[in-house]
């Protein structure tokens, strides 16, 4: 077994120096706390400083779990003699105004075009927005697929999402490609016309669309299950069968709790169980396209060869992006979340679940490996064999029935079976609970990305998304299933610390806020809070700082990053601390107090051209007056003022010695704030920081200065 495993997974050499460094670094942390215990400044400042350093130390401790045994792995070629099992692909969409129907349809086409036996492949699209426009786009895609699929297969295309294919620079347009391109453009125009109109005109009003009547809204409507392509019945232009394509919009009632994406996925689990019940499931977001048609084949060995990975719950691919700019301004690649940490967990029990680009063992949704929890209706069980066509009347009735609001009432759905409810990061939470039950996972990072995804390109969209994640993470951190208590019991300390690194991640804002404001303000009023430059303790602080930053840089480079991207990455860590982390905590608290309800704010996937241009130039996109920009602007202002003030004192002949530590922190603050100064004063485009935000920040920065000055000696 060990040797089979060695074929596709490789322990990373960095684990040895990691362990040595962890020992040295932990001694330094002990030293730091010894100093905290023996020296005191003003009470409030010392309290905050100790809280900041405890948080840093706690997060450092968590992060060691990722470093103890990192393992890289790639897929294994599919053994010729094995018979591929059926595959159900789940694609979720939720809001046609933020998720263009045409993109959803293109994603579906990229999955339909997998090199996989069509009678074994089914694509289910869940539409929580219940949009007739999305359904229309999918119907068009189904027709276009009949020429697109044979074209892809004949030409052995790797990129089978037509939108990405025709948008890429290296397409050679021979006569056949031009013919397809024309069909594609025609289809695209029809879809775009409809979207511009906003409704389906009479010329297209076939039976399917009659349901969208006056009483049909996205928040209140009956279940819609529509078979758009049926394998065996629908034939492509080359005479081959098409895979199945099914549109599902689960029932919505205003008063029911729908559990956001987890609810949608559970509805798909049941609908697909009723219709095809494939043992393997792939979950995709609507903007995550396939970039390699052989992916399903390549991962099947993980599931079929039980000696390689017993109790395998899922195989996770990294989220790789297309359309990000050269220096990755917002650190959208999230190398730590999508590469470095998953490699770390891969050597333990397996990576966390990212919500997209994941192949599941269907059985994993029905209890632990050793004791299955069947659903109430045996027809939905993971081993049930579907004997009828997906268009069979009884099957369709069952599919409708299981996608109604009341179906889950008093059942195990969301608690013991299916995707788990209770957190806005249903992906993280579900993967975590599966690990706790004894399921394992594998991280698969092939040289050619298996999928390509998109990320928001405006700062507000970025921090709004991160804020939602933070609320979801805190929901897990403080639940009875917290990684530190429950998790530690079921998945071992190392895995528990990995999960706790994320769950408590929003608390980065405690040290980040401290280091963004306090050394600066105290420097302005001549109070020194760090050891003098000549004091040996100063070197301890420098070691802690440079050690953490240096190790981070090395890891970042080791997964294909460069220094510029790393600089942006550390900046985004600070930006998050002052925006999405802080506001995530506030939102979590207000949710707990019952002020304001939980909501899943779908990430915007439509951007105007001007914005795209600014993004490609590497400019930060502020533009709107988001309260999350206020602490950021405050930090930029305070750091600049402190920097100038400190510099003046230095010119006046005051020695640097006492203030060196504070000056270093301030310089880093200023260097990180450069794009903010630009966006405040130099820029006049639509992405600048609105004057209102600047004014509010000026007032609040002054207030903060006064308050800190008043309490600094208390």
Is the CB of 93 or the CB of 131 nearer to ligand UPG? Answer: 93
Interior/surface letters 240-249, b for 16+ CB within 10 angstroms, e for the rest:
ebbbbbbbbb
Nearest approach in angstroms of CB 290 to ligand UPG is 15
Is the CB of 32 or the CB of 92 nearer to Mn ion? Answer: 92
Q: Among the residues of 579-659, which ranges form H helices?
A: 580-592, 609-616, 629-651
Both structure tokens of 293: 């048609």
Nearest approach in angstroms of CB 110 to ligand UPG is 14
Is the CB of 99 or the CB of 587 nearer to ligand UPG? Answer: 99
For residue 569, what are the CA distances in angstroms to 356, 553, 577, 672, 675? 22, 10, 13, 11, 14
DSSP result, 258-269: --HHHHHHHHHH
Nearest approach in angstroms of CB 460 to Mn ion is 15
Residues 512 and 6: their CA atoms lie apart, in Å, by 41
Is 616 among the annotated ligand-binding positions?
Answer: no
Residues annotated as catalytic are 128, 427
Nearest approach in angstroms of CB 158 to ligand UPG is 23
DSSP result, 323-341: S--TT-TT-TT-HIIIIIH
522 contacts ligand UPG (rule: CB under 6 A): no
Residues 300 and 297: their CA atoms lie apart, in Å, by 5
Is the CB of 72 or the CB of 94 nearer to Mn ion? Answer: 94
Is the CB of 294 or the CB of 603 nearer to Mn ion? Answer: 603
128 contacts ligand UPG (rule: CB under 6 A): yes
Residue 353 backbone dihedrals phi, psi, to 5 degrees: -95, 130
Only segment of 44-52, 68-76, 185-193, 595-603 that touches Mn ion (CB under 5 A): 595-603
93 contacts ligand UPG (rule: CB under 6 A): yes
Nearest approach in angstroms of CB 432 to ligand UPG is 13
Is the CB of 285 or the CB of 658 nearer to ligand UPG? Answer: 285
E strands, 64-171, are 71-73, 87-93, 121-127
Is 326 among the annotated ligand-binding positions?
Answer: no
Both structure tokens of 509: 């804002």
Residue with tokens 């439509």: 606
Is 98 among the annotated ligand-binding positions?
Answer: yes
603 contacts ligand UPG (rule: CB under 6 A): yes
476 contacts ligand UPG (rule: CB under 6 A): no
- Asked whether the beta carbons of 525 and 662 are under 8 A apart, the reply is no
Residue with tokens 């998304």: 465
Residues 227 and 243: their CA atoms lie apart, in Å, by 11
Site string for ligand UPG, 539-568 (x = CB under 6 A): ------------------------------
Residues 6+ apart with CB under 8 A from 562: none
92 contacts ligand UPG (rule: CB under 6 A): yes
Question: Residue 599's CB: how many other CB atoms inside 10 A?
Answer: 12
Is 306 among the annotated ligand-binding positions?
Answer: no
For residue 325, what are the CA distances in angstroms to 364, 549, 620? 38, 24, 11
| One-letter-per-residue 3-state SS of 337-383 | HHHHHHHHHHCCCCCCCCCCCEEEEHHHHEECCCCECCCCCHHHCCC
With CB under 5 to 8 Å by kind, the binding choice for 465 among ligand UPG, Mn ion, none is: ligand UPG
CA angle 638, 58, 27 (to 5 degrees): 100
Site string for ligand UPG, 278-317 (x = CB under 6 A): -------xx-------------------------------
Both structure tokens of 37: 């215990």
568 contacts Mn ion (rule: CB under 5 A): no
Site string for ligand UPG, 330-359 (x = CB under 6 A): -------------------------xx---
Partner residues linked to 221 by β-bridges: 252
264 contacts ligand UPG (rule: CB under 6 A): yes
**Binds Mn ion (CB under 5 A): choice among 62, 231, 295, 603:** 603
Residue 603 backbone dihedrals phi, psi, to 5 degrees: -65, 135
Is the CB of 462 or the CB of 704 nearer to ligand UPG? Answer: 462
Report which residue's Cβ sits closest to ligand UPG.
Answer: 355
Is 285 among the annotated ligand-binding positions?
Answer: yes
Is the CB of 462 or the CB of 524 nearer to ligand UPG? Answer: 462
Residues 376 and 374: their CA atoms lie apart, in Å, by 6
Q: What is the DSSP letter of 321?
A: B
Only segment of 154-162, 444-452, 595-603, 617-625 that touches ligand UPG (CB under 6 A): 595-603
Only segment of 216-224, 468-476, 694-702, 706-714 that touches ligand UPG (CB under 6 A): 468-476
Q: Which residues are annotated as a binding site?
A: 98-99, 128, 261, 285
Binding site for ligand UPG (CB under 6 A): 92-94, 99, 126, 128, 260-261, 264, 285-286, 355-356, 424-427, 465, 468-469, 472, 600, 602-603
Q: Which residues are annotated as a binding site for UDP-alpha-D-glucose?
A: 98-99, 128
Q: Which residues are annotated as a binding site for Mn(2+)?
A: 261, 285
Binding site for Mn ion (CB under 5 A): 603
């Amino acid at each position: 077994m060990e040797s089979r495993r060695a074929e596709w997974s490789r322990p990373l050499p960095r684990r040895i120096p990691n362990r040595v460094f962890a020992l040295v670094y932990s001694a330094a942390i002990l030293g730091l706390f010894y100093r905290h215990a023996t020296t005191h400044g003003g009470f409030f400042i010392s309290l905050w400083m100790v809280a900041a350093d405890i948080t840093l130390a706690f997060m450092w401790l968590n992060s060691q779990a990722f470093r103890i045994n990192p393992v890289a792995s790639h897929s294994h070629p599919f053994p010729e003699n094995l018979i591929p099992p059926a595959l159900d692909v789940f694609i979720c969409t939720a809001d046609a105004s933020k998720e263009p129907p045409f993109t959803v349809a293109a994603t579906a086409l990229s999955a339909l075009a997998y090199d996989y036996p069509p009678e074994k492949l089914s694509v289910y699209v869940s539409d929580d927005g219940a949009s007739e426009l999305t359904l229309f786009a999918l119907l068009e895609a189904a027709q276009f697929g009949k020429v697109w699929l044979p074209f892809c297969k004949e030409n052995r295309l790797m990129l089978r999402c037509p939108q990405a294919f025709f948008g890429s620079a290296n397409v050679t347009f021979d006569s056949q490609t031009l013919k397809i391109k024309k069909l594609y453009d025609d289809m695209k125009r029809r879809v775009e016309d409809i979207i511009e109109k906003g409704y389906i005109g009479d010329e297209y009003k076939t039976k399917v669309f009659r349901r969208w009547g006056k009483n049909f809204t996205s928040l209140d409507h009956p279940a819609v299950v529509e078979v758009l392509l049926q394998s065996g019945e629908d034939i492509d232009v080359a005479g081959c069968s098409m895979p199945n394509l099914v549109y599902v919009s689960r029932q919505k009632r205003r008063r029911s709790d729908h559990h956001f994406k987890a609810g949608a996925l559970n509805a798909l689990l049941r609908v697909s169980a009723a219709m095809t019940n494939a043992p393997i499931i792939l979950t995709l977001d609507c903007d995550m396209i396939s970039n390699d048609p052989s992916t399903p084949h390549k991962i099947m060995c993980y599931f079929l060869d039980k000696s390689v990975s017993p109790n395998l719950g899922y195989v996770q691919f990294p989220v790789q992006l297309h359309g990000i700019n050269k220096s990755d301004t917002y650190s959208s690649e999230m190398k730590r979340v999508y590469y470095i940490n998953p490699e770390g967990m891969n050597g333990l029990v397996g990576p966390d679940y990212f919500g997209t680009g994941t192949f599941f063992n269907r059985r994993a949704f029905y209890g632990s490996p050793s004791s299955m929890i069947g659903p109430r209706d045996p027809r939905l069980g993971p081993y049930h064999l579907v004997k009828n066509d997906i268009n069979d009347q009884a099957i369709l009735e069952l599919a409708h029935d299981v996608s109604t609001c009341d179906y889950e009432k008093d059942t195990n759905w969301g608690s013991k079976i299916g995707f788990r409810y209770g957190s806005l990061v249903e992906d993280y939470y579900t993967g975590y609970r599966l690990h706790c039950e004894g399921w394992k996972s594998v991280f698969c990072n092939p040289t050619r990305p298996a999928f390509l995804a998109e990320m928001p390109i405006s700062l507000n969209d970025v921090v709004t998304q991160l804020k939602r994640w933070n609320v979801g993470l805190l929901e897990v951190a403080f639940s009875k299933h917290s990684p530190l208590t429950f998790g530690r019991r079921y998945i071992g300390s190392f895995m528990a610390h990995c999960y706790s690194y994320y769950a408590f991640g929003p608390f980065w804002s405690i040290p980040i806020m401290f280091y963004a404001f306090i050394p600066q303000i105290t420097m302005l009023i001549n109070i020194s809070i760090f050891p003098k430059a000549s004091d040996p303790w100063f070197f301890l602080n420098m070691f802690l700082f440079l050690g953490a930053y240096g190790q981070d840089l090395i890891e970042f480079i080791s997964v294909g990053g460069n220094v510029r991207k790393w600089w942006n990455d550390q900046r985004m860590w600070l930006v998050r601390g002052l925006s999405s982390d802080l506001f995530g905590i506030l939102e979590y608290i207000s949710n707990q107090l019952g002020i304001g309800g939980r909501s899943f704010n779908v990430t915007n996937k439509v951007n105007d051209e001007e914005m795209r241009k600014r993004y490609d130039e590497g400019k930060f996109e502020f533009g709107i007056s988001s309260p999350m920009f206020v602490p950021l602007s405050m930090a930029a202002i305070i750091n600049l003022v402190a920097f100038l003030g400190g510099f003046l004192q230095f010119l006046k002949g005051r020695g640097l010695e006492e203030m060196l530590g504070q000056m270093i922190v301030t310089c880093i603050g200023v260097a990180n704030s450069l794009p903010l100064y630009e966006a405040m004063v130099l820029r006049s485009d639509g992405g600048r920081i609105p004057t209102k935000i600047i004014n509010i920040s000026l007032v609040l920065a002054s207030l903060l200065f006064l308050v800190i000055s008043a309490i600094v000696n208390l």
